[in-house]
Amino acid sequence: MSHLKKIQHICLPLLAILILLGCSSVRKISTKDSASGATAPKKIKSTARREFINGIEVTPGYLVTSSQKTGTGNAKKGGNGKDQTVTYGKADNRLMSFGIENANMLQLKYAIATDASVEKLTNIPLLEVIDKWWGTKYCMGGSTDNCIDCSAFTQVIMRDVYQLSLPRTSQEQYNIAEKIELEDLREGDLVFFNTSGRDISHVGVYLLNNKFVHASTSGGVMISDLNEKYWQPRFRGAGRVTK
């Protein structure tokens, strides 16, 4: 019996030590597993708008031309009363390479809309006229700053910028213009379209980089691209008007 008591005195402390060691190991494993299962917090993508100058607000992919005055002409809202938005690649990045410190505000504004550098936009009177009429809604037969149609708008540009007189309708303008090839287009030339089944039913003024300014039935006075899927199949030719 005395031997049994001695064995118990030896075994019980050893068993207690083993139990304590086992609990410690379990806690370490549990802590490790918990740490390895945690996920790092996700980074929040910044959606902050970047602003460069008054009247031109740039977010990735968009140029928003506000209704503020950006030159000697007054910018106008679209027919729906909202600011006009022009979609264009990484517009904010391109602005930084355009030489902002040497540029007129209108040059900056329309450099994006025409996909051109400010150095190529040297005709400030043309930009002023475009900006004055920008967003003016379309109406058939209109010729005021409340609404205007395509051929009246080309009359305004040719008269106020180039001191040239045009007949009233797009068909008449096509008839009197000297026909030129597409590759010979230059600023101030006229571009003609068939949009309604008639021979010539729409006209605009060419700018550069396949861009032309016109009074569109859908968006009022705006800038479009000759390669757009709507305009390309409807293009009927280009013409030049001289004194």
The answer to whether the CB of 227 falls within 8 A of the CB of 210 is yes
The answer to whether the CB of 221 falls within 8 A of the CB of 143 is no
**Token code pair at residue 207:** 């700018």
Instruction: For residue 202, indicate whether it is catalytic.
Output: yes
Cα-Cα-Cα-Cα dihedral of 69, 206, 114, 231, to 10°?
Answer: 110
Q: Which residues pair with 164 in a beta bridge?
A: none
Single-letter code of the amino acid located at 182: L
Q: Which residue among 3, 11, 147, 214 is the active-site one?
A: 214
Which phi and psi angles does 59 have, rounded to 5°?
Answer: -120, 160
Instruction: For residue 139, indicate whether it is catalytic.
Output: no
Dihedral over Cα of 2, 4, 7, 13: its sign: negative
Instruction: For residue 3, indicate whether it is catalytic.
Output: no
Neighbours of 234 (CB within 10 A): 14
**Cα 5 vs. chain centroid, distance in angstroms?**
91
Task: Give me the helices (H) in the chain, please.
Answer: 2-37, 91-96, 105-113, 124-133, 150-160, 170-176
Q: Which residue among 3, 23, 139, 150 is the active-site one?
A: 150
**Token code pair at residue 62:** 């968009």
Catalytic residues: 150, 202, 214
